[in-house]
Amino acid sequence: MSTLGDQARTQAEDQLEPRVGPLPDGEPHFHPYHHPAAGWGAAKSVTKFLVREGALMDGPRAIMKMNHENGGFDCPGCAWPDDTKGLKLDICENGIKHVTWEMTHKRADRELFARHTVGEMSEWSDFKLEDQGRLTEPMVYDPDTDHYVPITWHDAFELVGRTLRELDDPNQASFYTSGRLGNEATFLYQLMARELGTNNLPDCSNMCHEASGRALQASLGTGKGTVDLKDWDATDALFILGVNVASNAPRMLTALAEAFHRGAQIVHVNPLVEAGATRTIIPHDFLDMATFHSTRTSTMNLQVRVGGDMALLRGMAKAVLEQAKTDPRALDQEFIDRHTQGFQEYRELCEATSWDELERQSGLSRSDILKAARVYTDADRSIVSWCLGVSQHEHGVDTVREIVNLLLLRGNLGREGAGPSPVRGHSNVQGNRTCGIDHRPTEEFLDRLAEVCDIDPPREHGLDTVGTVQAMQRGEIKVFVGMGGNFALAVPDSAYSYEAIRSCDLTVQVSTKLNRSHLVHGKQALILPCLGRTEKDHQRCGDQATSVEDSMSMVHLSEGMRRPASRHLLSEPAVIAGMARAALPDSATPWEWYIEDYDRIRDTMAHVLDGFEDFNRRVRLPLGFRIKQPARELVFLTPSGRAEFSHAPLPDVVPEPGMLALGTMRSHDQWNTTIYSENDRYRGIKNLRTLVFMNEDDMRERGISEFDPVDIVSTARDGTHRSLEGYLAIPYDMPRGCAAGYMPEMNVLVALCDYSRQSDQPIMKHVNVAITPAT
């Protein structure tokens, strides 16, 4: 419940709202952005946001506690590792926005739910839903009145427990994780699911980097990147594929600027030249800020066609092999002979692929591909980094494996400054997988879990994200638990997925803010509000910290410091323990005892998880500890015991005549399904999300001018169509045949059946669409 003080603050904020809030009625603007990334534009945007959320006073204090080696909390914004050189302000614009979003003084309390029916709230925008503020107490859906009404924690757990106990088969339940969940909660969550008897553990990774994990596992036997920040500091060449750095991993800008100062080459591969691939003002360099001095973050930009990365990589490999005919140093033959398998076949495949085909599929000229290859062969040490532009494709696994192929040719593995470096999304998505969120767990993991936790885990594989929605459609999933995230909005095929979710008997969302997934619910529904990462987690044995793992396998503690948004909130581990006890009344797992002191959970984890020996001591070291990467030590846990070249055929990614390949992506002012405003500063957009970026010639050919309303119709693999109407066309510097627009709105266009047969990931970066002037 909100206090008087809260109400007063809310009124004060309301008065500020019109000036600094999103401007839904404002005129859409488009003016191409020509300034460096970060700097004062970012500072201004942060200030506006702090004012809007009423956090001008405590926002800055919290920010000083972010990403520090000694204490403080881990920024929930992204998975970029913390600075290792004692940086005092290791922060970015979007991280600050994300933290402040959690710290808002607004409350979505019982009065809000009493005032509005679910039907009414369903009409609100996603921005407006989250803008109601933090959830304050457990709520249950009342179908008679169409309202959410308060429920005690005890009764809420009983409802979950009873419904789970009454299932005919534990596989009728599915337990989703969004990548924010700390490691200790993660471990308890998967333990609960497996003790119940299911491996139905879908997670956001199924839509994100599943392809990267599978590819790295197949090629190297280590399903993660092998490099760390020290390698980034030492490398001669960085290849950055399919990442919008300035918006989605802004702390990488500092690493890029430093690399540029050192004289390293930085090649960006992206259909769009994003702001982070031009110049940046380093935000924590006060001299830079004061003098507007900016540093380049790129030495070459290759505007590949959507899905064309694999052709570029193969072209580079072909060029390396050609160069090696006269210059043997282009290849590291000794490394290839000692550590790899399948080189000869790969060489033949590269030789057999024609330049014509490589140019057509990549959308790049042969001379550009040769230039990129020359950067690669001139560098002693290279790192290839990538994100969703590579992974969210039908051939995401093959493309990541092609990245590894290229790295292997010059022995860019297992030494300083070299290797594969995927940029993960959610701040602990990598830790979730490490700690057991996996619908396809290994036998070794299950054996260890069985032995240490004395349970009998199911051996049959479970459902992932797409599989869960499909099973809901078939009526096979009755209970859905969302541990964070916004499942309904994040998954593809919105209309069909909503229908599927509504068919469940019970949906449970453990959340911090109101979102679409609370309104698209099962016949019974619960909202269980939890502590955020910035908040104090007080348990019987004292204040608790949880651990997280970043993109570069560093595990460290995160401890909240703020007063919880409401005294009724529980921590995520406590919510899980409450559900587990209610569902498994006779369980021998000491759920309540674990919650008193998270060290106890960590002690158990130390016995189950590889690389977590002595967990409690090592996680308290100043920067935490790094999980060992066998491939980094040139130990390959593959069938051959060597790093394996892959030999996949080049996919055909050129759209059919009249069609375009549309990628769905984030704006600068959003965090996945959380929309901060309708602006996308670095792409020059104001007050508009219902847009589609197109190549100017593609527009002209269709008789479309800037800001013309258009209809977008997608064609799925099964021949069905989906559409969005009245989107506004924006001419943008991008290759012909490509188009782009924002997620999650464009999930309407992504068919559920259009998932990659290699990774099972929805194909969110290559939707086949026709775009025509609006009818």
Show contacts with Mo ion in window 212-241 (CB under 5 A): none
3-state secondary structure of 108: strand
Closer residue to Mo ion in complex, CB, 53/550: 550
Of Mo ion, ligand MGD, none, which one sits near residue 271, judging by CB under 5 to 8 A according to partner kind?
ligand MGD
397 binds Mo ion (CB under 5 A): no
Q: How far apart are CA 166 and CA 621, in angstroms?
A: 45
Angle subtended at Cα 17 by Cα 14 and Cα 19, rounded to the nearest 5 degrees = 145
Residue 62 partner contact from ligand MGD, Mo ion, none using kind-dependent CB cut-offs of 5 to 8 Å: none
Nearer to ligand MGD, 6 or 74 (CB): 74
Query: End-to-end alpha-carbon separation of the chain, Å?
Result: 48
**Least distance to ligand MGD from the beta carbon of 749, Å?**
8
Q: Decide whether 241 or 446 has the Cβ nearer to ligand MGD.
A: 241
Distances (CA, A) of 376 to 123, 235, 237, 400, 756: 52, 11, 7, 17, 30
Please name the residue that has the structure tokens 């847009």.
691
161 binds Mo ion (CB under 5 A): no
Cβ-based nearer residue to Mo ion, 646 or 761: 761
Q: Which residues pair with 661 in a beta bridge?
A: 738, 768
The CB-of-382 to ligand MGD minimum distance in angstroms stands at 17
Q: Which is nearer to ligand MGD, 203 or 332 (CB)?
A: 203
Between the alpha carbon of residue 541 and those of residues 537, 545, 546, 568, 621, the distances in Å are: 11, 12, 14, 19, 21
Smallest separation (angstroms) from ligand MGD to the CB of 741: 9
* Smallest distance, ligand MGD to C-beta of residue 13, A: 19
> What's the CA angle centered on 602, arms 599 and 604, to 5 degrees?
115
Choosing from 81, 342, 417, 425, the residue that interacts with Mo ion (CB under 5 A) is 425
DSSP string, 222-259: --S----HHHHHH-SEEEEES--HHHHSTHHHHHHHHH
Look at residue 243 and give the partner it binds from Mo ion, ligand MGD, none, a contact being a CB closer than 5 to 8 Å depending on partner kind.
ligand MGD
Query: Is residue 420 close enough to count as binding Mo ion by CB under 5 A?
Result: no
Amino acid letter for position 232: W
CB of 62 to ligand MGD, least distance (A): 14
Residue 744, interface with Mo ion (CB under 5 A)? no
CB of 714 to ligand MGD, least distance (A): 11
Under the binding rule (CB under 5 A), the answer on residue 185 touching Mo ion is no
Strand (E) positions, 586-672?
Answer: 625-626, 643-644, 660-665, 670-671
**Residue nearest to Mo ion as judged by C-beta position:** 425
Instruction: Answer with the entry of ligand MGD, Mo ion, none that 674 interacts with (C-beta below 5 to 8 A by kind).
Output: ligand MGD
Q: Say if residues 459 and 446 touch (Cβ distance below 8 Å).
A: yes
3-state secondary structure of 401: helix
Cα–Cα distance measured from residue 759 to residue 695, given in angstroms and rounded to the nearest whole number:
30
* Preceding peptide of 590 cis, ω within 30°: no
**Interaction of residue 489 with Mo ion, rule CB under 5 A:** no
By DSSP bridging, strand 674-675 and strand 670-671 are antiparallel
Report the interface residues with ligand MGD, using CB under 6 A. 77-78, 94, 130, 178, 180, 204, 207-208, 241-244, 247-248, 269-272, 274, 304, 306-307, 309, 387-389, 392, 425-426, 484-487, 490, 510-513, 515, 530, 532-533, 572, 663-666, 670-674, 743-744, 746-747, 750, 764-765
Given ligand MGD, Mo ion, none, residue 746, with its beta carbon under 5 to 8 Å by kind, binds ligand MGD
Count of beta carbons in the 10 Å neighbourhood of residue 301: 18
Q: Which is nearer to ligand MGD, 130 or 184 (CB)?
A: 130
Residue 208 near Mo ion by CB under 5 A: yes
CB 683 to ligand MGD: min, Å: 10
CB 516 → Mo ion: shortest distance, Å?
17
**Which residue number, 104 or 664, has a Cβ lying nearer to ligand MGD?**
664
Minimum distance of Mo ion from residue 439's CB (angstroms) = 17
Q: Determine how many CB atoms are found less than 10 A away from the CB of residue 597.
A: 15
Taking the complex as a whole, how short is the minimal distance between the CB of residue 279 and ligand MGD, in angstroms?
Answer: 17
Q: Determine the interface stretch with Mo ion among 208-216, 343-351, 471-479, 511-519 (rule: CB under 5 A).
A: 208-216
* DSSP string over 663-681: EEE--TTEETTEE--S-BG
Residue 363 or 414: the one with the smaller Cβ distance to ligand MGD is: 363
Q: DSSP for 716-742? A: -TTS-EEEEEEEEEEE-S--TTEEEEE
Shortest distance in whole angstroms from residue 325 CB to ligand MGD: 29
Footprint of Mo ion on this chain (CB under 5 A)? 208, 425
